[in-house]
Amino acid sequence: MSLSLPRTPLQVFRDHLRAAPGRMVHSAFRTGTPSTDRGRSSFVFGNVFLHLHSVRTHRWSLRWMTTAGLGIASVAAFLITLVTGVLLMFYYKPYPDVAYDSIKDIHFVVPTGRFMRNIHRWAANVMVVTVILHMARAFYTASYRAPREFNWLIGLALLVTTLGLSFTGYLLPWDQLAFWAITIGANIAQSPREVTDALGITEHFDPGGLQRLLLLGSDTVGDEALIRFYLLHVMLLPLVAAMLMAVHFWRIRKDGGLTKPADVNQRLGPPPADVYPVFTEEPVKTYHLAAIVRGRTPAVGSGPEHTVPSMPHLFYAELGVLMLTLFVCTALALVSDAPLKELANAQVPENPAKAPWYFLGLQELVAFSAFMGGIGIPAIVLIGLGLIPYLDREEEGTGVWFGGPGGWRLVQRSIAFGFSAALIVESIAIRFGWLREWFPDIPQLVVTAINPGTVLTLIYAWYSVWLVRRYGSTRAGALGLFTCFLCGFIVLTVIGTYFRGPNWEFFWSPADWPGGH
């Protein structure tokens, strides 16, 4: 040191050049190799992508049973659709007929195009499944309760966005399947006319027509509709989804991580030997910054016992789920090609024209009343779901599967009730028809108000009210109602998928369809 001669400017320059790669890395990550707990912590909160995680993760959150990784799987599926979707955009041309040809090109001549399209399609389906299951998980573990009410609402918005993304993607291939599914979808958007027509006020007040016009940009499904759906699919909805997801994740941290039962530490017992390092001594002081934060933020005041560093424990779990999701999507993509039917033809309707599978339950309801099935009942369900965290202010069973009065037994009974009620109502409607068949002159308004869909909704509502009284608990009613609606959704979706044929008539098997299909 002392012997060092003054360096020439050129030497200085050379030394800086030598040091540049190392400095580049350091400037990006700031910390050195994250080999210690502290290093790992600063690595996590020094990284824009990783800092959405808290630095330490509770052992409870890492149990497979706690979340089954469904949230991460949804994100993974979203990322997969994002990447493959961007790739598909290299070749996709959003103009009628040309769009169909470009999908054919993607399928037949674009290098890896067929595979990417299949992955895109399957990841989209996987995402719908995982999002629904994720919601069910959050519900059954009563994770929507305070302080996570708002995040439950964000989750609902994400569910709607996810379905919207899937639905808008449905039109883009411009084949018969797409064209007629969207035609039906657009007419569902117009279905408030069913009510306004019956009341005779459509001339003055026509929200249905406006919705349809906004969706299609024209009176038929044409190039205007295609460009709108394209815009929604590749731009608006992904942006909305990404923003909502960011808020969703951030709120998980701010709401104190994943829901844990009150007696979580007793349930977990002492940490096993392989979990290292886990704090064993009482904290000397609590987090200074967190102490300033007012309110009931759950992280405040509780020590880091029973937590492990997020890096690497949480990240292994997340990456594992990510790769598992990727595995499922690629496996499905290899086994089954994404469908592409004939070029869209406005003169030849598909019969039956079926929406994507997750809307077939709604389509089954729509077959009874377009307004109630397509807008009324879904709106009731969404509003009901949104209100649950504000009505259920109880504390019993938070963070525990099927927690709450009644518990698993109640859910079992509700499954039985939900399935039977849906099957019975459907059977009656299929076997004997409905009001219009019995009284041909019946006003439309009566059919709109009283149809298998609304009747089923009322039965479920009645059952739920009964549960609230029986157990003296809102949570019990909510458990029953949610389970019933889930069962109803499954029954209607299965009937719509497998048992409906041309003219939406009931068939035991597609082999019985007329025309030798």
Contact residues for other proteins (CB under 8 A)?
35-40, 62, 64, 83, 87, 90-91, 101, 104-105, 108-116, 175-176, 273-277, 279-281, 283, 304, 308, 312-313, 316-317, 319-321, 323-324, 326-327, 330-331, 333-334, 340-343, 348, 514-516
Nearer to other proteins, 307 or 464 (CB): 307
Question: Which of 312/443 has CB closer to other proteins?
Answer: 312
Q: How far apart are CA 248 and CA 395, in angstroms?
A: 23
- We find the least distance from the C-beta atom of residue 38 to other proteins, in angstroms, to be 6
Closest to other proteins by CB, 245 vs 317, is 317
CB of 498 to other proteins, least distance (A): 18
> Do 455 and 377 form a contact (C-beta atoms < 8 A)?
no
> By three-state DSSP, how is residue 369 classified?
coil
**Enclosing H/E stretch for 57:** strand 56-58
Bridge partners, 308 (sequence order) = 57
Judged by CB, which is closer to other proteins: 89, or 445?
89
Q: Specify the DSSP class assigned to residue 343.
A: B
Q: What is the dihedral of CA 97, 103, 107, 109, to 10 degrees?
A: 80
Beta carbon nearer to other proteins, 61 or 451 = 61
Residue (117 or 212) nearer to other proteins, CB: 117
Q: Which residues contact 441 (CB under 8 A, 6 or more apart)?
A: none
Return d(Cα 290, Cα 189) in angstroms, integer.
47
**Shortest reach from residue 41's CB to other proteins, in Å:** 10
| Distance separating the N- and C-terminal Cα atoms of the chain | 89
Question: CB neighbours (10 Å) of residue 208?
Answer: 23
Place of tokens 């918005």: 157
Minimum distance between the CB of residue 325 and other proteins, rounded to whole angstroms?
8
Q: How far is the CB of 47 from other proteins (least distance, A)?
A: 16
CB of 9 or CB of 111, closer to other proteins: 111
Q: Using the minimum distance from each CB to other proteins, give the nearer residue, 194 or 350.
A: 350
CA distances from 162 to 11, 124, 128, 186, 358 (A): 58, 8, 7, 18, 11
- To the nearest whole angstrom, how small is the minimum distance from the Cβ of residue 454 to other proteins? 36
In whole angstroms, give the CA distance from residue 222 to residue 95. 9
- Least Å distance between CB 341 and other proteins? 4
Minimum separation from the CB atom of position 138 to other proteins (A): 21
Alpha-helix residue ranges (DSSP H) falling in 141-255: 149-171, 176-189, 192-199, 207-216, 223-231, 237-254
**DSSP character for 359?**
G
